[in-house]
Chain A
Amino acid sequence: MIAFPVLSLITFLPLLGVLLLMTVRGDEKSVAGNARSIALVTSLAVFALSVYMYMGFDKASADFQFVEARSWFSGLNIFYKMGVDGISVFFILLSTLLTPICILASWESIQKRVREYMIAFLLLETMMVGMFAALDLVLFYVFFEGVLLPMFLIIGVWGGPRRVYAAFKFFLYTLLGSVLLLLAVLALYHQFGTTDIPTLMQASVPLEMQKWIFLAFLASFAVKVPMWPVHTWLPDAHVEAPTAGSVILAGVLLKMGGYGFLRLSLPMLPQASEYFTPLMFTLSVIAVIYTSLVALAQEDMKKLIAYSSVAHMGFVTLGIFTLTTQGMQGAMFQMLSHGVVSAALFLCVGVVYDRLHTREIGRYGGLVKNMPRYATAFMIFMLASVGLPGTSGFVGEFLVLLGAYQVNTLATALAATGVVLGAAYMLYLYKRVVFGELTRADVKAMTDISPREIAIFVPLIALVFWMGIYPSSFIDPMAPALEKIITRYNEANAISLPKEVQP
């Protein structure tokens, strides 16, 4: 075990960077340069610390570890409580890994108000890590909604031409979902007199209340995931956000919804989860098929990947609500894989966007000739997104379908078409951008990826293969925590179901 409060340190270390950034003085150019360095060093330190934390993490245990609890609201049963289990530890690692990558990716593409940009990213990191580590519902909510502040500014200040519209849509959509979550939290507090997540995970909520709270949770998490039909903010936000904004949005922010289902909905509301499973399956399957078809028709690279995200997250929600070992492991794995792969795909788009300043697919073509290294990296991530065996995408989708098959064959069959469609739109995208004739002069003039960009892609490529070839190093630590959820779910529903009369 680690003796010091490591989770709080990981969460709030970025704020130290923010403080440093605020004190930077000088002319605009030197401020920008210093701001980049400070932000990168801070985020790398946070990443190193979170890896250190992971090394001290007991992978065989299903319990929360590194738990810290401090009094916060005296007189009320609300505490500052942090802790991680096999589910959240990976999300923390994902967040702390992607933040330095985002900062590196913005090294040259962000030229105005660099200092503020870096402050926003470090703030965002605090919010994300805090959300995954929070073990108190109010604390969780504070971080969950606090994410909106920096993200709103990132999209709105450094985004594309329709950034204002996209930022408002993102903010208001997410806020609308979150406030209902807040009411559900308060209702739970009223009922049980505590907002302690581990306690509430054992609480038996009355069935009728479970249903209402489930719907309130759903309103919030479905927007975050995002599930069909509340996904419409995502393409706008992705298209308008700067590259790094899209990366963090796809890589981490979308996982907050899935994490919410795993951490709150299933353990606290097992019966309602069972009751609403058909709804969740339906929405997931629609998301997979419909958004895949929409993705096929996109002319904008980022929009295409945004829709593919919705489809992939459809697999996640499908897997979560199978409540089978394979399905849930698959969902978790898919989230991690998607976090890496979609982040990488957005980075790939960012690379060509930085050079040609357009995301229109038709403007490109034949990049394999003048950008072979880029074409290779793009191919790896594209194939991982398609789910080629040996890459991370395969494991997640396969496990989800395996789990879903045990529960609902129809949903599985329908969702499986998404795999085919996924291959179709990704290969089609790749063909149009990378292959073909290299005719346009400005495309010809594009240079291959720089050492900085290679440094961004290498860890992600390594992860894609690691996860694809030896998934156990990820699945084993998360298995006990997931098993706990499944056990709890089965127990709760076995009790609630009327005993069948034996003939």
Chain B
Amino acid sequence: MILFEAPNLILALPELVLAVLAMLLLLLSVAGKAENYRLIAKMGVFALMTAAAVTFNFYGQAGTTFGGMFVADNFSSYMKLLVLAGSAVSLLMATKYLEREKTNRTEYPVLIVFSTLGMMLMISANNLISLYMALELQSLPLYVLAAIQRDSVRSTEAGLKYFVLGALSSGLLLYGSSLIYGFTGATGFEQIASALQGQTAVSLGVVTGMVMILAGLAFKISAVPFHMWAPDVYEGAPTPVTAFFAIAPKVAAIALITRVFMGPFGDMAEQWRQVIVALSIASMALGAVAAVTQTNIKRLLAYSSIGHMGYALIGLAAADKAGIQGIVIYITIYMVMSIGAFCIVLMMKQKDKMVENISDLSGLAKQQPLLALAMSVMMFSMAGIPPLAGFFGKLFIFQSAINAGLYTLAVIGVLTSVVAAYYYIRIIKVMYFENAEEELDKAADTGLNLILTAASLAVVFFILLPSPLLASAGAAAQSLIK
């Protein structure tokens, strides 16, 4: 009898590396002076890159470890790389802003790194308990980050709001988990799957538990009707934090939802499909309609991200390989577009003060043609206009919907994308068709410029070389299909 089985640490090596480095970072930041922000931030980026390198090195190594609590496969490797890259980039984006707003405290990088660790664990969660732990590890730093501008009422309000609603969603998730445990007698994903396998009539308790879990997770991706926090938090949190919210946690949460619903509940697709479809339609519609009247660009991007999550969920509703491949492609492109858009929001200042109204962008095409061009590339791409990358994201999502016979969903999806196009091109209108009342300052942040350039080039030239992304997304999707 084996009392203790040594876990296969190689599978969890990226997380272990990042955890060790994160704790070192914490020690350093406590020991050092508060002015050391830049050093700590650089080390944070280094830690994230190291974890990414380790992930890349062991890319696609499959298996479970820690008694089945932790799973690694192509999907997890891909998503982890995405999350790590997103976190590193958003950390780089933050420096100038935080220094200007005097919030450049050394906690910031540490919290980002811990939260990223939580996201990686979420992506690899293979048990309801590890899922919950990872989710909390990811969420707690986020609550603090949202409120990091302690002197700002808006920021603290955002943090509190996020915390209260986040706690509620955690409660829902836990309640759902307990129901699932009660009705299947298991918390491990494989065990749940085998308990549910071949059941013709699934018990009401399992369905209720599953819906509760979905509700908890839908909160994390801000799918309607669990989106209420997003616009307020996006608007209230400091812009780099908002950028981080839009980039990394969304990726991790959508990965988690995909794994949970394709894994343990994979055989119940008929039961949950309609719920996903409803979430998806509601998100797309609200994301499109509510954004129309926004004047604050951060709020607008919040609604835009709600809409984007609706499109990503179409792929889950399809519940097959093409659908998951669509999700992976979509979320990758979404991340790049969000990075680009938030770079521009971070550059928006007048007379050295940050501004965030859409009207502040007016006349940008005349003063800073390249910046305006980059922004219009991002906006057209988010609207899904070819030949930009955003179009291909939508293309694969809709293709999976058509393959799965979800015609109504696809039609609603394309129609809302037209409505959404209205507010994206409204931003272009402001930049190109209007004259400035007050000009934006010229951006002097080389880091942001570089990131923005890279993101724009990726969005524009994706059309030339789509195959690598397609192939890795395909491999990632395959690993979730039994």
Contact = CB atoms under 8 A, between A and B. Distances in A.
B425 A152 contact: yes
B414 interface: yes
A182 B470 contact: no
Interface in B391-414: 391, 395, 398-399, 402-403, 407, 410-411, 414
Interface SS of chain B:
helix
A211 to B, nearest CB: 14
Interface string B370-407: 00000000001000011100010001001100110001
Contact of B418 (A71, A73, A179): A179
A142 B470 contact: no
A72 B429 contact: no
Interface in A130-169: 138, 141-143, 145-146, 148-149, 152-153, 156-157, 163-164, 167-168
A187 B391 CA distance: 17
A132 B410 CA distance: 27
Interface stretch (A170-178, A241-249, A359-367, A487-495): A170-178
A75 interface: yes
A69 interface: no
Contact of A141 (B365, B369, B386): B386
Given A74-B471, A164-B429, A172-B422, A142 B398 contact: no
A164 B398 contact: no
A140 B283 CA distance: 30
Contacts, number: 90
A73 B369 contact: no
A330 B428 CA distance: 41
Contact of A175 (B411, B421, B429): B421
Contact of B467 (A75, A141, A183, A186): A75
26 contacts: A71-B467, A113-B366, A116-B365, A138-B395, A141-B386, A142-B391, A146-B385, A148-B385, A152-B428, A153-B428, A156-B428, A156-B429, A168-B422, A168-B425, A171-B421, A172-B421, A172-B422, A175-B421, A179-B417, A182-B398, A183-B398, A183-B402, A183-B410, A183-B411, A189-B399, A190-B402
A72 B466 contact: yes
A163 B433 contact: yes
A168 B429 contact: yes
Contact of B380 (A149, A156, A163): A149
Given A145-B386, A146-B386, 11 more contacts: A76-B470, A143-B386, A145-B391, A153-B432, A164-B429, A167-B433, A168-B422, A168-B425, A168-B429, A179-B415, A179-B418
Contact of A183 (B387, B414, B425, B429): B414
Contacts of B386: 141-143, 145-146
Interface residues of A, number: 36
Contacts of B417: 179
Most A-side CB within 10 Å, residue of B385, B386, B391, B463: B386
A174 to B, nearest CB: 10
A156 B434 CA distance: 10
Contact of B399 (A172, A180, A190): A190
A209 to B, nearest CB: 11
A187 B411 CA distance: 12
Contacts of B399: 186, 189-190
A73 B466 contact: yes
Contacts of B236: none
Interface SS of chain A:
helix
Contacts of B414: 179-180, 182-183
B240 interface: no
B402 A187 contact: yes
Interface string A344-374: 0000000000000000000000000000000
A175 B418 contact: yes
A157 B385 contact: no
B433 A164 contact: yes
Interface string B19-42: 000000000000000000000000
B474 interface: yes
A171 B402 contact: no
Contacts of A171: 421, 425
B471 A156 contact: no
B418 A176 contact: yes
B470 A75 contact: yes
Interface in A74-130: 74-76, 113, 116
A183 B417 CA distance: 13
Contacts of A146: 385-387
Contact of A74 (B387, B398, B467): B467
Interface in B431-455: 432-433
B407 to A, nearest CB: 8
B474 A75 contact: yes
Closest 8 CB pairs of A and B: A179-B414, A74-B467, A142-B386, A186-B402, A176-B418, A156-B433, A186-B399, A142-B387
B51 to A, nearest CB: 29
A190 B429 contact: no
Given A74-B467, A142-B463, A172-B421, A182 B432 contact: no
Nearest to B419: A172
A72 B386 CA distance: 15
A167 B418 contact: no
A172 B420 CA distance: 10
Contacts of B403: 190
A143 B428 CA distance: 21
A110 B474 CA distance: 49
Nearest to B433: A156
Most B-side CB within 10 Å, residue of A116, A141, A164, A175: A175
Contacts of B407: 183
Interface string A184-217: 0011011000000000000000000000000000
Most A-side CB within 10 Å, residue of B366, B399, B471: B399
A143 B386 CA distance: 7
A226 B466 CA distance: 34
Contacts of B433: 156-157, 163-164, 167
Most A-side CB within 10 Å, residue of B421, B422, B471, B474: B421
Interface string B188-202: 000000000000000
Contacts of B395: 138, 182, 186
A175 B386 CA distance: 11
A118 to B, nearest CB: 14
A153 B433 CA distance: 9
B322 to A, nearest CB: 10
Nearest to B398: A186
Contact of A172 (B418, B428, B463): B418
Contacts of A176: 415, 418
A200 to B, nearest CB: 15
A157 B398 CA distance: 33
Nearest to B410: A183
Interface in B450-482: 463, 466-467, 470-471, 474
Contacts of B365: 113, 116, 157
A157 B432 contact: yes
Interface in A254-306: none
A175 B394 CA distance: 14
Nearest to B467: A74
A179 B383 CA distance: 12
A71 B366 CA distance: 40
A272 B132 CA distance: 54
B90 to A, nearest CB: 29
A180 B386 CA distance: 14
A153 B402 CA distance: 33
Nearest to A176: B418
Given A72-B466, A142-B386, A146-B386, A167 B429 contact: yes
Contacts of A168: 422, 425, 429
Most A-side CB within 10 Å, residue of B365, B387, B407: B387
Contacts of B391: 142, 145
Contacts of B402: 183, 186-187, 189-190
B99 to A, nearest CB: 33
Contacts of B398: 182-183, 186
